[in-house]
Amino acid sequence: MKRSEINRRITEAEAFFSALSFLLPPWASRRPADWAGRGEEESEIRDNMLGWDLTDFGSGDFDRVGLLLFTLRNGRAGPSRPARKPYAEKAMIVGEGQETPLHFHWSKMEDIIVRGGGRLALQLWASTPAEGLSEDPVRLRVDGALRELPPGGTLVLRPGESVCLEPGIYHRFSAEPGYGKVLAGEVSAVNDDRADNRFYEPAGRFPEIEEDEAPCRLLACDYSRYL
């Protein structure tokens, strides 16, 4: 993706968050130069990849396959130590007809909540031991109530509704056309986007960026380069 497109998408996202009165932390509006001199006191932001996150999943067409996220909080667990903060939270903006590709998580359990805007459509499968698509029904809880869907069935969430996705549940989602963009929330166990995404078809989690202009905001994947 071109940096100019990323900048434009973030500017649009800031306006959308504002229109729905969804407030981000103060440091969300920092320009790259504003990060200079920030030390150990802000290590959690950098190390746990809090902040702006935008990807086209390698599709080259963000409007068709893509997602914009802001990670509000996250722990950091390693193989030899538990996370001091065992939870994470994200805000996501999903465009009409814009798909997040089919995937599951090996470790993360998550609740997906429609916070505002339109309707979120999720297509769901259970997975097989070989990580294929199961022909078994999908059992899950929607706002605490047990539901069962056929394999590949679609669950539509309206504003205020939520679903709990356990590890191993394949899901892809988009905003249902005709109802506008969706502000979706994610509340989950610790999030590790570098190692806990199993895409059914190969996809890149982080964008390859063509630097055609300076960034207006840093993405979480920019921190190691710019800071």
Output helix, strand, coil percentages for the chain, rounded to the nearest 5. 20, 40, 45
Which residues make Cβ contacts (< 8 Å) with residue 79, sequence separation at least 6?
none
Half-sphere exposure of 28 (CA within 13 A, CB side): 22
Q: What is the pTM of this model?
A: 0.94
Residue 41, class by beta-carbon neighbours within 10 Å (0-12 exposed, 13-18 middle, 19+ buried)? Answer: exposed
Which residue is listed with tokens 């006191």?
41
Per-residue pLDDT for the chain (227 aa), expressed as one digit of tens each? 999 999 999 999 999 999 999 999 999 999 999 998 888 899 999 999 999 999 999 999 999 999 999 999 999 866 555 568 999 999 999 999 899 999 999 999 999 999 999 999 999 999 999 999 999 999 999 999 999 999 999 999 999 999 999 999 999 999 999 999 999 999 999 999 989 999 999 999 999 999 999 999 999 999 988 88
Domains plus CATH for the chain? 3-78+85-226 (2.60.120.10)
pLDDT at 76: 83
Residue-wise DSSP of 137-197: PEEEEETTEEEEE-TTEEEEE-TT-EEEE-TTEEEEEEEPTTS--EEEEEEEEPP-TTTS-
Residue 205, class by beta-carbon neighbours within 10 Å (0-12 exposed, 13-18 middle, 19+ buried)? Answer: middle
3-class secondary-structure state, position 220: helix
